[in-house]
């Protein structure tokens, strides 16, 4: 049975982050099954396609839409009302069977609805989120959870959080682990040379940390740990930090730039999607000290790239990493420094961890995520 599914693709009008990757990758895997007929909504326009970052919207470059969006005449409540009206009319016009809101709170409920809850970071760490986002989720998510035909989460950790926090019936909450793109794989120094040369990096000669520059990602922990590593190792293995600016990033970015100017670390900022796989694959080790994750895609991408990982012992991270890497205490940079030092001085252990990471990552696919999601659709649509 073919199910005509609506997706809210509006988040794809901004630079892709974790939710954007989820929308693109999962929707593509769903359409590949052959029994999902996708319709995507971009702020005010519908397209008969799987969600994807559009180059233009109504003939206007998306880059321009992003710049002028804060100054559009319909702001606040008026703009939200206009968006919801356009969405609701499209549901009827396209005879949608089911609407999957992949970013927490649905735009409307004219058809059966499935929602995805990626994490409860806005509730656990509200100080690390913009105030308007916290208000949006505080007002909208309880209602969405109550009215949804089913709830999908990225990990068993988030499933437990949702059930315990909102008293949701367990049978309504379904875990669909995220997948990893095939572009993230082990690569030789010859394969990474061009990309790394452009960044002034050498294959196998740097420590990597990837994540949005915001407090919850705890990037400062990596800096503090790196400062405690012996100078001789720091000289051979600089710390490379990659990530787009996030909420309350100014102080963190300022410190990163000061250290980069002093030659102690390399701060790359946002790294192009085409370059990121080589950046992962060329690292000697990957450090992931996040305080809270609903899943942790960078960790999975690093493992798939054949890089030994040292990652936080919090939230969903142990569920994703399994026994493929080493755990760190995000409150103890001294312990992290000791683990990084020991790992860099032991090539045999690095090789064994890298292989375990590749094997572990192979169990997380977007096809498997789509299979769980497709079964949820069938139940709700029926």
Residue whose token pair is 């009319």? 89
**pLDDT at 273 (0 to 100):** 87
The CATH code of the domain at 3-179+365-381 is: 3.40.50.2000
**pLDDT at 79 (0 to 100):** 66
**pLDDT at 17 (0 to 100):** 77
Structure tokens at 2: 């073919």
**pLDDT at 212 (0 to 100):** 76
**pLDDT at 337 (0 to 100):** 97
**pLDDT at 16 (0 to 100):** 76
**pLDDT at 255 (0 to 100):** 63
* Residue of 281, 219, 217 lying closest to 255 (CA atoms): 219
Integer-rounded Cα radius of gyration of the chain: 21
Intra-chain end-to-end CA distance of the chain, in Å: 11
**pLDDT at 259 (0 to 100):** 61
Please indicate whether the domains covering 3-179+365-381 and 189-361 agree at the CATH topology level.
yes
Domain positions in the chain are: 3-179+365-381, 189-361
pLDDT lower than 70: segments of the chain: 56-79, 245-264
Question: What is the tens place of the pLDDT at every residue in 42-65?
Answer: 988 999 999 999 875 444 455 544
Across the strands, what pairs with 287? Answer: 310
The CATH code of the domain at 189-361 is: 3.40.50.2000
CB under 8 Å to 185, separation ≥6 — which residues? 277, 281, 304, 305, 306
Question: What is the tens place of the pLDDT at every residue in 124-161?
Answer: 988 877 888 899 999 999 999 999 999 999 999 999 99
Question: In what helix (H) or strand (E) does residue 379 lie, and over which residues does it extend?
Answer: helix 366-381
């Amino acid at each position: 049975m073919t199910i005509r599914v609506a997706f809210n693709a509006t988040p794809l009008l901004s630079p892709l982050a974790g939710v954007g990757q989820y929308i693109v990758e999962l929707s593509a895997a769903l359409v590949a099954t052959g029994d999902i007929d996708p319709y995507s909504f971009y702020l005010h326009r519908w397209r008969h396609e799987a969600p994807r970052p559009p180059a233009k919207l109504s003939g206007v470059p998306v880059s321009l839409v992003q710049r002028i969006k804060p100054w559009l005449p319909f702001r606040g409540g008026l703009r939200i009302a206009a968006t919801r009206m356009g969405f609701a009319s499209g549901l009827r016009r396209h005879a949608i069977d089911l609407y999957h809101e992949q970013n927490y709170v649905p735009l409307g409920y004219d058809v059966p609805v499935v929602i995805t809850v990626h994490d409860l970071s806005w509730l656990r760490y509200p100080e690390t989120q913009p105030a308007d986002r916290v208000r949006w989720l505080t007002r909208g998510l309880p209602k969405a959870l109550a009215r949804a035909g089913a709830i999908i989460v990225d990990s068993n950790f988030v499933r437990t959080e949702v059930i315990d926090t909102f008293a949701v019936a367990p049978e309504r909450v379904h875990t669909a682990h995220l997948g990893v793109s095939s572009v993230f794989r082990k690569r030789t120094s010859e394969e990474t040379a061009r990309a790394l040369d452009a960044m002034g990096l050498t294959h196998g000669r740097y420590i990597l940390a990837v994540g949005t520059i915001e407090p919850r990602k705890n990037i400062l922990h990596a800096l503090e740990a790196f400062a405690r590593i012996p100078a001789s190792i720091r000289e051979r293995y600089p710390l490379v930090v990659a990530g787009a600016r996030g909420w309350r990033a100014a102080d963190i970015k300022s410190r990163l730039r000061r250290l980069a100017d002093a030659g102690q670390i390399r701060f790359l900022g946002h790294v192009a999607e085409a370059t990121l796989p080589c950046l992962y694959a060329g690292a000697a080790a990957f450090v992931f000290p996040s305080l809270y994750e609903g899943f942790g895609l960078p960790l999975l991408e690093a493992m798939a790239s054949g890089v030994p990982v040292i990652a936080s012992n919090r939230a969903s991270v142990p569920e994703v990493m399994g026994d493929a890497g080493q755990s760190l205490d995000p409150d103890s940079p001294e312990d992290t420094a000791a683990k990084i030092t020991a790992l860099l001085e032991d090539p045999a252990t690095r090789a064994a961890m890298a292989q375990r990471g590749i094997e572990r990552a192979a169990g997380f696919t977007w096809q498997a995520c789509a299979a769980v999601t497709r079964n949820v659709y069938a139940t709700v649509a029926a």
